[in-house]
Structure 1
């Protein structure tokens, strides 16, 4: 899952980044309003951790813009400004949660998991489609109760396709979500083809009742067979 941290305090930003990367999220950062504004305008995220007080603007304005653009990224306001007015304003603007500083990183991780689970998987602890069952907590995949071992990127690709199972996922969207915004520097999508090929073989060998359909020149769509 892909997270954006908008935080201007360097040590806090680094602590949050390390914590979430240890949990194997794809994490991007922005230390000011301008950078954050560019990122939310170009990319989509499962969860945005948003500081209100930024050196060049108000984080709540970013939240307002996000909602005006019709995006449904999950948002947790993370701020030392713990007044009731700020909390109410943020929630009224569409934030999903509010976490006042200081906080334990374990609580941050729990809040992020709850947002992702609620928004992408209807609040379910396990994700089931056909005979495939995924446990996001342990990042494990079982097919017909047998565990199928996937590498990190194979798992991320599968989870993203399942979370968008009713949609056609473009190669660009898949690359940005699974590999992060540095994907802009890539010359081709060959690395995606490699992961998809390996993932397909593992699903077929395990007799999964889902398959990844390639839409020529566009991207991929998950099908239940």
Structure 2
């Protein structure tokens, strides 16, 4: 899961990054209006934590742009401004939630999980396809009721495949989702090949009913039974 933090306060930004990375989220940051505008224009995020007061512009302007592009429903506004007007404007622009500073990190984490559940699968905490069940909260995979151990990247790759079953997934889309925006700097996608090779072996050994098919020169497709 990829989260963008738009926050100009360095201390809070670093605290949020450390906390979210411990929960196995892939985290990107923007500290001003310009960098945030560029990131939301180039990349898709599962959740955006958005401050209203930013150097160079307003977070509400960013939210308006997100709404125009159909991306505002996964935004949580985090702001020291406890103004009812700002809150109403943000929610009218499609923000999913509003949290006033200061707040407890545990409360923010709970709000993020709620947004991700609503965004991805109508509130469910698991993904199940064939004889697989992926527990998103515990980050565990079960095949035919048996636990299958996955590393962090293998879990994120399988999660992305299950959310996009029977669809062609390009290597670049998969790399961006699992490894983040800096993937643009990679010379090739060999690292994806090795992660998927290991994931396939684990699925095969556990007699999974799904199959990850290679589409030559393009990417992959997860086929369900």
Q: Do structure 1's residue 156 and structure 2's residue 156 form an aligned pair?
A: yes
The match for 2:214 is 214
The CA distance in 2 between the partners of 1:71 and 1:218, in whole Å, is 26
Residue 99 of structure 1 pairs with residue 106 of structure 2: no
Q: How far off is 1:89 after superposition?
A: 0.6
Matched residue of 2:60: which SS?
helix
Does the Cα contact within 8 Å between 2:72 and 2:95 map onto a contact in 1?
A: no
Q: Could you tell me how far apart the structure 1 residues matched to 2:166 and 2:111 are? A: 26
Q: Equivalents in 2 of 1:112, 1:165: separation in Å?
A: 24
User: After the TM superposition, which of the residue ranges 161-170 and 175-184 deviates more from structure 2?
Assistant: 161-170
The Cα of 1:70 is off from its aligned counterpart by 3.0
Question: Could you say which residue in structure 2 is the equivalent of 1:15?
Answer: 15
Cα distance in 1, alignment partners of residues 64 and 215 from structure 2: 35
The residue number in structure 1 matching 2:36 is: 36
- The question of whether the paired residues in 2 share the 8 Å contact of 1:45 and 1:73 is answered with no
Residue pair 2:165, 2:223 contacting (<8 A) in 1 also: yes
Task: Please show how residues 65-80 of structure 1 align to structure 2 within 5 Å.
Answer: 65-71=65-71, 74-80=74-80
Task: Determine the C-alpha separation between the residues in 2 that align with 1:173 and 1:205.
Answer: 27
SS in 1 for 2:194: helix
Unmatched 5+ residue regions in structure 1?
Answer: none
Counterpart mapping for 1:50-199 below 5 A = 50-71=50-71, 74-165=74-165, 167-199=167-199
Shift of 1:73: 6.1
Report how far residue 211 of structure 1 moved.
1.4
Q: Structure 1: how far apart are the matches of 2:39 and 2:127?
A: 29
How far apart are 1:166 and its partner, in Å? 5.0
Unaligned 5+ residue runs, structure 2?
Answer: none
Shift of 1:72: 6.0
Deviates more, 1:118-127 or 1:150-159: 118-127
Rounded to whole Å, the distance in 2 between the matches of 1:142 and 1:109 is 25
* Alignment RMSD: 1.2
CA contact (8 A) 2:169 2:220 kept: yes
Q: CA deviation at 1:81?
A: 1.1
TM-score (normalised: structure 2): 0.96
By how many angstroms is 1:107 displaced?
Answer: 0.7
